[in-house]
Structure 1
């Protein structure tokens, strides 16, 4: 949109110009840039730009916090940077020398960039699952599950996750700038009814009659298709180079599918399934060992993980848990509780501060509780005030511990504001009730502690040296 032209121009000017931007994507609140030369990025100047809330490097990405209207800013930024929306997430990873040290960040960036684009699907379908659970017999018992209205809620909510391989294939293909149609076909092959019937039959099956295939159900999965689309990128590129021009239009798609079908069914998809199972084992082991303290730890320190970008890896695990297990018992379970502690803290900050700080707190409070945007409170209050940090840690820890003791888990994605607790709906009715208790405890504890201890002798706060501006 034209009204964001000045904002985008200032961003480009301070990230080294459009020639220094190799790719861009956005999540719910952040514009995520891949830059060729990090030394050309003036982080402090970007933070000062009117319209930005903060900026930081996270792995190889330069993330600029803009707010929930980032989806409006993104097209204008792509236009001024000279990149199309489809190409905006092509990071030209192969142009960089291979580095074993960089592999984890590359993998994380690929998963994050692929999943970020399908979050609206997960959220939209999640609301249908949420209302199905709330209105059904397990909670309010407003309607029977057999009613047509409830059946429609179930249909839409279930489809949003059942066909996850197809949605993820689209996001991954856009991320890697490879063939979207063939990627969608690969995703569809993982959930095709005929394939599901072969798996259900449990009898040995060979692709093309001679390549043995593992019998796994890949509905609601993420990793198998992410691995497959990653391989497709190289297969597609290779075929485009060697295929004669006269038959390229027909030959490349056909041969790509011929190669990718056994590669996916017999190799990459099973490997992805093993990785998913391994992550589930790690998460369950952590929960078994640490128990309630796992959620308490996340509740206490989640906002600091967000500030440093450490939350990205954990979020991917949460998405994989929801896609494979149907729920996330640790990461989102604790992070949502942390969000309520932040709400309690900012309300207490509004009560205890004066003058300009009170006005700023009022704006942040409305932005957080109503709009679901945490960055103004996170960077404007929490990270520059020692006592605000103490309040956040205590509220998040106590609320997280309660949630851990009650065994809460997140089943859907939904609102990020005061209605965040609705993300716990979708499972047993008791889970939602327990989540309300845990989130309420986090909010009240943070509010009470903040009101009691105040926010330092300086209304502007001082903040730890780690977070001070130079």
Structure 2
């Protein structure tokens, strides 16, 4: 049966595509949220060729497909349409995470526009410093328009991206945002008048150019108002009546409530940051600069975008967040290059070099996640360097005049025509960051990633001896799966998931972890990594395919508490650490942490035998748990 036929049969037996709210998949299962569970015929679903099992669990319909689940899901998605995975995942996150995701989702699409405008500001400042352009010239006026337009009309840009984020009409959002920059409002601001009145309520004249919070607040409210009006207006009248009612409600609301409140909030955010900058000085730089890598790891750095734009709007420059981002980029680069020189692993050396170059250009995530966080000590070194250089930058009042990627290419936006030392202090601060981070990483050292290139040797005889020994061991361990973790044996009948307890997808062993790491149970390769990091698929050199599934329903954690140490396609050696996880935190979230080791191609062997263990017997990673024979 083709996957298209399989998908069609599944959809038919679960009530049709109209009964599907959302579809997604994990390592072995198709997962659905359905409108009416009574329309799902589990018995018939289980009878479909290619389906290994089906069940309702934790409000989800789960259909077990096995290793080829992604192929089946492509056909499922073609039938039911692209599902809003982001929305469901958001519901599983805390308020702070949802807020930061919202900020990131709104600002990310507009960054190219404001980055381009910001770089233009830097180039214009450079032309002034060099004396190549006069402020009275037409060319200066045109270049000023180019550098300011995106910032002035930022409410329009944010209206579009916010509308996409909150799933409401982009055109209605822009039209309502237009009220904030309507000539009557801007002329009133210029004249110094107090404002207008509407139904006894005041509409203050406020300069909304370059503002952030008012338009985001407006579009958020619009998303609810629009859906409410759509429900009460008859279908035949919606095309005319819906936008009319939306404008009548939302434009006064925006001018009377959302705009002024958002402006005040933004103003106080700016005041708070200004107070921290004025009173904290070098201490503020030391603290925020040192903690910035942790903000990146948690995603909290996205929350800085409104603060940066508020500073740009109010002062014409940012004296706080962007300079600290600049020194953090160079600190991450210094740590990555130190690792690149010191590591003996050729593959990891290449990763460190590429991430170091990326950090030089202001893209720090590869260095943070791929190098520093992975090795820990380089992260500490970069945090210390970021704190020291951040304190230096804020002590000498380094200012950034453009919202651009904070790497070496950002130098033009640190040119201040009124203060030539601003660029000098910026250069010194990044030099401090790079050098200190590099030296500290070198001194502190790190636990190197295991070398997997066995062709490198210092003595030929030793190498040949090791190869012969390794070859002999491979023969002896042919078809053997060692325990990938330390823990206690759990009988399958005590595993509350029929897919595993009934060995639906293959011979299965269950182990309750007493440690926080998964190691390779044999020599082989990483066949599959799931984005949520809770499971990993391996294939041994002798052809045994194994799925290691950490915990039950831990897919819902979306990678939280898991740290994968390898990449898909990597060659692995028996005993090599593959995944680190925090079992206590996972338990605290309410998840069963029992780990399942499944031979997913059991049917390809004549026998697949499990080694006998007593209940709760301690199993070491050196213990054989499954033996296969062809």
TM-score above 0.5, yes or no = yes
C-alpha separation in 1, matches of 2:162 and 2:223: 10
Q: Select 1:232's aligned residue among 222, 233, 241.
A: 222
Of 114, 136, 156, 2:128 maps to 136
For each residue in 1:63-116, what CA deviation from the matched residue of structure 2 results, as whole angstroms up to 9, or x when unmatched?
A: xxxxxxxxxxxxxxx9899338xx7876798xx69xxx9554444433332122
Partner of 1:391: 381
Distance in 1 separating the partners of 2:388 and 2:415: 22
Equivalent position SS for 1:136: helix
Match among 194, 198, 214 for residue 188 of structure 2: 198
1:253 and 2:243 correspond = yes
CA deviation digits over 1:302-354, x for unaligned, max 9? 11221122323334433443345433322222122111111122222233333
State whether residues 424 and 432 of structure 1, in contact with CA within 8 Å, keep that contact through their aligned partners in structure 2: yes
Query: 2: distance between equivalents of 1:390 and 1:379?
Result: 13
2:367 is equivalent to residue 368 of structure 1: no
How many Å apart are 1:142 and its aligned residue? 3.0
Counting only pairs closer than 5 Å after superposition, residues 55-454 of structure 1 correspond to structure 2 as 82-83=81-82, 102-137=94-129, 140-208=130-198, 210-356=200-346, 357-369=348-360, 372-425=362-415, 428-430=418-420, 431-451=422-442, 453=443
Deviation at 1:288, TM superposition (A): 2.8
Task: Tell me the CA shift for residue 405 of structure 1.
Answer: 1.0
Indicate which of 446, 449, 465 corresponds to 1:460: 449
Contact 1:235 1:256 in 2 (8 A): yes
Q: C-alpha displacement at 1:416, in angstroms? A: 4.6
Q: Partners in 2 of 1:278 and 1:161 — Cα distance?
A: 20
Deviations 1:104-159 (A, max 9, x none): 4444433332122211211121121121112223xx33332344443332111100
- 1:23-55 Cα deviation digits (max 9, x unpaired): xxxxxxxxxxxxxx9999xxxxxxxx9xxxxxx
2:19 matched to which residue of 1? none
Q: 1:275: how far off?
A: 0.5
Partners of 2:138 and 2:85 in 1: CA distance: 42
Q: Which residue of 1 is the match for residue 621 of structure 2? A: none
1:234-293 CA distance string (max 9 Å, x none): 221122122233332111111211111211111111110111111112212222332112
Gaps of 5+ in 2: 1-23, 34-57, 62-69, 71-76, 451-515, 518-560, 564-578, 582-630
* Structure-1 separation of matches of 2:400 and 2:337: 25
Q: Find the residue that maps to 2:317 and give its secondary structure.
A: coil
Query: For the aligned residues, what is the CA RMSD?
Result: 3.6
Higher relative contact order (CA 8 A, sep 6+): 1
Alpha-carbon separation, structure 1, partners of 2:308 and 2:28: 31
- Note the alpha carbon deviations across 1:372-409, whole angstroms, 9 max, x for none: 44333212321133431332123212211110111113
Greater helix proportion: 1
Structure 1 distance, partners of 2:356, 2:256, is: 52
Q: Provide TM-score, normalisation by structure 2.
A: 0.56
Is this contact kept in 1: 2:152–2:210, CA < 8 A? yes
Q: 1:38 to 1:248 in 2, by over 3 A?
A: closer
**Residues 267, 310 of structure 2: 8 Å contact kept:** no
Q: In 2 relative to 1, CA 366–193 (structure 1 residues): closer, same or farther, beyond 3 Å?
A: same
Q: 1:414 to 1:81 in 2, by over 3 A?
A: farther
CA contact (8 A) 1:223 1:276 kept: yes
Aligned residue for 2:408, secondary structure, equals: coil
User: Structure 2 CA distance, aligned partners of 1:415 and 1:429?
Assistant: 22
Which structure 1 segments of 5+ residues have no match?
1-10, 21-36, 41-48, 50-77
Instruction: Specify whether residues 17 and 153 from structure 1 end up closer, same or farther in structure 2 by C-alpha distance, changes over 3 A only.
Output: farther
Q: Distance in 2 between matches of 1:159 and 1:79?
A: 41
Distance 1:416 1:38, change over 3 A: farther
Output aligned runs, 1:41-52, within 5 Å.
none
Task: Point out the structure with max Rg over C-alpha.
Answer: 2
Contact 1:112 1:316 in 2 (8 A): no
| Structure with a larger share of its residues in strand | 2
Is the 1:12–1:81 contact (alpha carbons within 8 Å) kept by the matching residues of 2? no
Corresponding residue for 2:580? 469
What is the rounded CA distance, in whole Å, between the counterparts of 1:445 and 1:183 in structure 2? 48
Secondary structure of the residue aligned to 1:469 is: strand
Kept after mapping to 1: 8 A contact 2:117/2:148:
yes
C-alpha contact (below 8 Å) 1:89/1:176 kept by paired residues: no
